[in-house]
Amino acid sequence: MTTSKSPLAVARWALALGKASLPEYSHSRSPHKYTQPQLFALLVLKEFFGQDYRGLMQLVADLSDLQKALELQELPHYTTIQKAARRLLSRRRIQKLLATSIEAAKKGRILRSKRLTAALDSTGLSSRHTSAYFVERKQRVLHAKGYQTTQYRRFPKLAHICDTTTHLIFGFLPSWGPSTDVSHFIPLLKEGLRVHPVGIILADAGYDSEANHRFARGELGVRSVMPARAGRSTAKLPTGRFRRRMTTRFPKKLYGQRAQVETVMSMLKRNFGEALSAKTYQAQMREIGLKVLTHNIGILMPT
């Protein structure tokens, strides 16, 4: 599935999504100069253009068609957008906006399946304030006795669940890595099911555990497919019922669709960059959520 490259189409869809999910104003006594859907659409355009807050507002000031698409009578100061991000990109509101984007995909017949074949995976992101040149230089630090390898141990991480056909994301978990993937399986699947029914879930060996199979198949009725490779390599079959089945009757053709989740991660990084501009943990988590929403909005109206 391709994504829209038109700023006007993205702006209109982001505004419509905001109107369907957000109250018009944050408070009855607010100045009422700009609506919350308008501010949300500006945040989406910030991610779409890869700009900071000042750069975004300069672009909008120069592009009158964008101002018309966003129904702006007056341009907000860039600090207004910055403050709006803290309020509009809370975890609860992002989940609501994400669910609304999936409903819009169903109404537009982009998403037609009643029970999705979904895949989940995670990827690491980088923090823009640490330059690649600095990291490269610090990999080898000169000491009296020679060279010492330096490693950076923490990085932003995105785990998500997506539809293998449309590449729409309908659940995600932002965090800091490195961390094991196996514990993300159940919360990701739960979050995805709140948005749309899932028939089959595909995951790599990092999510392999008998408990995850039991939860998906036994409690939710979702067919889980994961290579049974966790633990030490041995010629013996796994003792668990479902992991044993994955070893003896693994559906290779079906599992081939798992590669679509890699495509989604590539789309996110190519279209919106793998680096985050935010520095604090909470701001990085909000920015990851904004990337996911912008990705879905781009799919709603490809050009």
**Smallest Cα–Cα separation from 56: which of 75, 37, 69?**
75
d(CA 214, CA 241): 9
With b for 16 or more beta-carbon neighbours within 10 A and e for fewer, the 190-229 pattern comes to ebbbebbebebbbbbebbbbbebbebbbeebebbbbbbbe
Mapped onto helix, strand or coil, the DSSP state of residue 239 is coil
pLDDT at 104: 94
d(CA 226, CA 258): 10
- Please name the amino acid found at residue 300: L
**Smallest Cα–Cα separation from 242: which of 212, 205, 198, 219?**
212
d(CA 146, CA 162): 47
| 174 DSSP β-pair partners | 158
Pairing state between β 126-127 and 275-276: parallel
Strand ranges across the sheet with 116-124:
169-177, 155-163, 116-124, 198-202, 223-225
**Smallest Cα–Cα separation from 171: which of 128, 142, 141, 203?**
203
- For 136, 272, 274, the CA distances from 133, given in Å and listed in that order, are 5, 21, 16
d(CA 79, CA 128): 20
> pLDDT tens string for the chain (303 positions)?
788 889 999 999 999 999 999 999 988 888 889 999 999 999 999 999 999 999 999 999 999 999 999 999 999 999 999 999 999 999 999 999 999 999 999 999 899 888 999 999 999 998 866 665 666 666 655 544 455 555 556 889 999 999 999 999 999 999 998 888 999 999 999 999 999 999 999 999 999 999 999 999 999 999 999 999 887 777 788 889 999 999 999 999 999 999 999 999 999 999 999 999 998 999 999 999 999 999 999 998 765
pLDDT at 141: 56
* Maximal C-alpha separation, the chain: 70
264 close to 291: Cβ distance less than 8 angstroms: no
d(CA 58, CA 169): 30
d(CA 202, CA 227): 10
The CA-to-CA distance between both ends of the chain, in Å, stands at: 11
d(CA 94, CA 292): 9
**Number of neighbours of residue 117 by Cβ within 10 angstroms:** 19
